[in-house]
Amino acid sequence: MKITKAMKKQLQSTKKSQNLIIRGRIIWIDFQKGKERLRKSTKLKYSPVAFNFVKKNYEKYLENGAEIWLKKEFIEYENSLVEKRLERDKSAIKSSPKPLSFDKLIADFLSEKSLLKGSTNRIINSYLNKIKVFFKSKNLENVFDFERNHSIDFANFLIKNGISTKGAFYQYFSALNGLLNLAVKQGILEKNVLFMPKVSMLKEAQKCPFSLDEVELLLKNSTGSLNIYLYIAFFTGMRLGEIFALTWGDIDFEKKEISVTKTLDFIAKKINTPKTLSSYRVIDLLEVLEKKLYPLRKDSSLPVIDFSVNKIRASYKKLLKSLNLKFRVLYNTRHTFASIMLSKGEEPMWVGCKMLGHKDLNETFKSYAKYLPKEVKTRAKFLDELRL
C-alpha cells in the first residue's frame, strides 16, 4: 500500500521507544523481545484515529492476545467519538441563527444565481416552483424534513406532472440538489441525502401504451379541448409541444396533410423550432381525424388547442380516474400511436420516419421493435421447387 504524506507525518511523530509499521492497510508494531526482533499485527485498519489509539496503548499490545480485546476496546472508543461528533453537529444546527424557512433557502439560492442571464433565471424559477409544490404535497415544511426516500417520491411526482424526458429529470434534480447543498453549506443539514433514481425504472408508466379499446374509451368519454387534443395525439403521434403549437393553417384538408414546423416551449412560453431537423415534417391527415377536425376549422392563425397545457393535463388525469384506467403521462399518446400502428401491420418507415419524425428506422426499431407483428409462417417457400 502506498504511504501517504499524512501517514508519514504520523509515523515520524511516533515516540522513539515505539516502532509502528503500516502494511496492507493494517497497523503493525515492531518490538524487541530479548535478542529477538518481532512484529505483531494490531488487527486494526489504518486511520488517524486507529493510529493514535495504537500509540497510546503500545505497551498493552506487547501482551499475548492483547490485539483481540484491544480491537473491541478500539471499536467502543471509535463509536464514542462518532457520538460526540454527532452531538456537536446537532448542537451547532440547533444553535444556528440561520433560518430553516424553505422560502428563505430558495431566496438565498436565487441570490447566488443572480448573475445569470434572465432566461436562465426564469427556467431555474420554474424548477423551484415545481419543487415547492412537491414539498407542499408531501407536507414537508422545510429541508429538515426531506429524507432519502423522498428522492423516489420526487421522481414519481415529476412523471405525474408530465416531466418525462431524461434531460428534464436531471434539470429538476439538479435544482433540488443545489438547494440541499446550500442547506448543508449553511449548516441547516448535516448532509445531502438526495439521490437520482434510474429514470428507466420510474418511466414505466410512460412506456406502457394504451390499447385500441382504451383509446376508443378515452375518445368517447372526453369533451372539449381535451377531446380534440386526444384525437390529434392518438392519430398523428405528434409530440406535446408540436400539438400545442399547431394552428389551423398548418392543416391542409384538401391534400389531407399536416405540416409540423414548430413547437411550444412550455418553460419560456413561446413558439420555438422543432426538436430536431427530422422533426420538420409533413404528416398524413388520417380520415378519422379529418372527420373530427373539419367541422371545427377556424381562422388559419388561430391555435387548434385553445386550452393551456395545465388545464388539459388536469382534465386528462380526471378522465383516467373516472374510467379506472392506469395513470400514464400525457406524452404516452405518442407511444400509443406507434405501438398500435406497428402492431396492426403499418409500415415502420411510415410510422417512424414520416409520422413520428425519427431520423431513421434504427431509432424506430430501438423503441418499438417489440410491437412489430410476429407472423408464424413458413419462410422461403419457393425453395421447395428446387430438386435437391
Residues 200-251 have pLDDT tens digits of 555 554 567 899 999 999 999 999 999 999 999 999 999 988 999 999 999 9
Most confident of 27-36, 258-267, 319-328: 319-328
Query: Looking at the domain covering 102-202, what would its CATH class be?
Result: mainly alpha
Calculate what percentage of the chain has a pLDDT beyond 90.
24
pLDDT digits (tens, 9 = 90+) for 347-382: 999 999 999 988 888 888 877 777 777 655 556 666
The verdict on pTM exceeding 0.75 is no
pLDDT digits (tens, 9 = 90+) for 25-82: 888 888 877 778 888 888 888 888 888 888 888 888 888 888 888 888 888 888 787 7
The terminus-to-terminus CA distance of the chain in angstroms comes to 70
pLDDT digits (tens, 9 = 90+) for 174-190: 888 888 888 888 877 77
Please state which architecture CATH assigns to domain 210-371.
Orthogonal Bundle (1.10)
Domain residue spans in the chain?
Answer: 5-94, 102-202, 210-371
